[in-house]
Amino acid sequence: MHPVLTTVVQRLALGVMTLFFVSVIIFSSVEMLPGDFGESVLGQGATEETKAAFRRELGLDKPAYLRYFDWAGSVLQGDFGDSFSGRRASGGLNRARAVVDLVAPRLWNTLFLASATAIIAVPLALMLGITAALYRNSAYDRVMNAVTLSTISTPDFFLAYILILFLAVLNPIFPTLANVTEATEFWDRVYKITLPAATLTMVTVAYMMRMTRAAIINLLATPYIEMARLKGVSRMQVILKHALPNAWAPISTVVAFNLAYLVVGVVVVEVVFSYPGIGQLMVDAVTSRDVPVVQACALIFAATYIILNLIADIVGIITNPRLLHPR
pLDDT digit string (tens) for 126-185?
A: 899 888 888 888 999 999 999 998 988 888 889 999 999 999 988 889 998 888 888 889
Nearest to 299 by CA among 13, 14, 29: 29
CB atoms within 10 A of CB 86: 18
31 in a domain, yes or no?
A: no
Task: Report yes or no on 209 lying in a domain.
Answer: yes
Q: Which residue type is seen at 27?
A: F
Share of the chain above pLDDT 70, in %: 88
pLDDT tier, 320 (very low <50, low <70, confident <90, very high otherwise): low
Assess whether pLDDT exceeds 60 at residue 228.
yes
- Contact criterion met (CB below 8 Å) for 236 and 156: no
**Is residue 224 domain-resident?**
yes
pTM of this prediction? 0.82
Given this model, what pLDDT does residue 218 score?
Answer: 83
Q: What pLDDT score was predicted for residue 35? A: 64
Q: pLDDT at position 306, please? A: 87
Task: Identify the residue with better confidence: 150 or 315.
Answer: 150
Pick the most confident of 7-21, 140-154, 309-323: 140-154
Is residue 266, in this structure, part of any structural domain at all? yes
Q: Can you give the pLDDT at residue 44? A: 67
Given a contact cutoff of 8 angstroms between Cβ atoms, the answer to whether 162 and 174 are in contact is no
Quote the pLDDT of residue 201.
Answer: 92
Residue 29: predicted pLDDT: 81
pLDDT at 117: 93
The radius of gyration of the chain's CA atoms, rounded to the nearest angstrom, is: 24
**pLDDT given for residue 91 in this prediction:** 47
Work out the average pLDDT over 261-272: 84
Residue 154 within any structural domain of the chain: yes
**What percent of the chain is modeled with pLDDT above 90?**
18
- How far is CA 308 from each of CA 113, 141, 261, 294, rounded to the nearest angstrom? 17, 30, 10, 21
Identify the pLDDT of residue 143: 93
Distances (CA, A) of 1 to 5, 8, 114, 313, 323: 7, 11, 37, 19, 12
pLDDT of residue 259: 86
Express each pLDDT in 144-153 by its tens digit: 999 998 988 8
Q: Distance (Å, rounded) from C-alpha 201 to C-alpha 160?
A: 11
Number of domains in the chain: 1
Q: Say what the pLDDT of residue 199 is.
A: 92
How would DSSP label each residue in 62-107? S-HHHHHHHHHHHHHTT---B-HHHHHHHTSSTTPPBHHHHHHHHH
Q: Give the helix, strand, coil percentages of the chain, each rounded to 5.
A: 75, 0, 25
Whether the per-residue pLDDT at 292 is higher than 80: the answer is yes
52-94 pLDDT, tens digit per residue, is: 777 777 677 778 788 888 888 888 888 888 887 655 444 444 4
CA dist., res. 255 & res. 159, Å (int): 21
Is residue 174 one of the residues assigned to a domain?
yes
Please report the pLDDT score of residue 89 as a whole number. Answer: 40
CATH code for the domain of 142: 1.10.3720.10
Q: Which of 307, 309, 197, 300 lies closest to 252 in space, CA to CA? A: 309
Range with the lowest mean pLDDT among 133-137, 260-264, 284-288? 284-288
SS3 per-residue string spanning 184-233: CCHHHHHHHCHHHHHHHHHHHHHHHHHHHHHHHHHHCCCHHHHHHHHCCC
pLDDT for 73 equals 87
Quote the domain boundaries for residue 229.
112-289
Confidence check: pLDDT of 194 > 90: yes
In a domain, 312, yes or no: no
Distance (Å, whole) CA 277 – CA 275: 6
- Arithmetic mean of pLDDT, 259-266: 83
303 burial class (0-12, 13-18, 19+ CB within 10 angstroms)?
middle
Residue 70's CB: how many other CB atoms inside 10 A? 13
Q: Does residue 1 lie in a domain region?
A: no
∠ Cα 178 184 185 (to 5°): 115
Rounded to whole angstroms, how far apart are CA atoms 199 and 269?
Answer: 8
Closest residue by Cα to residue 199 from 165, 225, 171: 165
Tell me, what's the pLDDT at 51?
Answer: 72
What is the predicted pLDDT for the residue at 90? Answer: 43
Burial of 266 (0-12, 13-18, 19+ CB in 10 A): buried
Q: Is the pLDDT of residue 263 over 80?
A: yes
Pair 216, 239: CB distance under 8 Å: yes
pLDDT in tens, 93-117: 445 678 888 899 999 999 999 999 9
User: CA-to-CA distance for 258 and 237, rounded, in angstroms?
Assistant: 28
248 pLDDT above the threshold of 70: yes
**Total H helices, total E strands in the chain:** 18, 0
Please provide the average confidence, as pLDDT, over all residues in the chain.
83
**Cα–Cα distance for residue pair 152/4, rounded to 1 Å:** 36
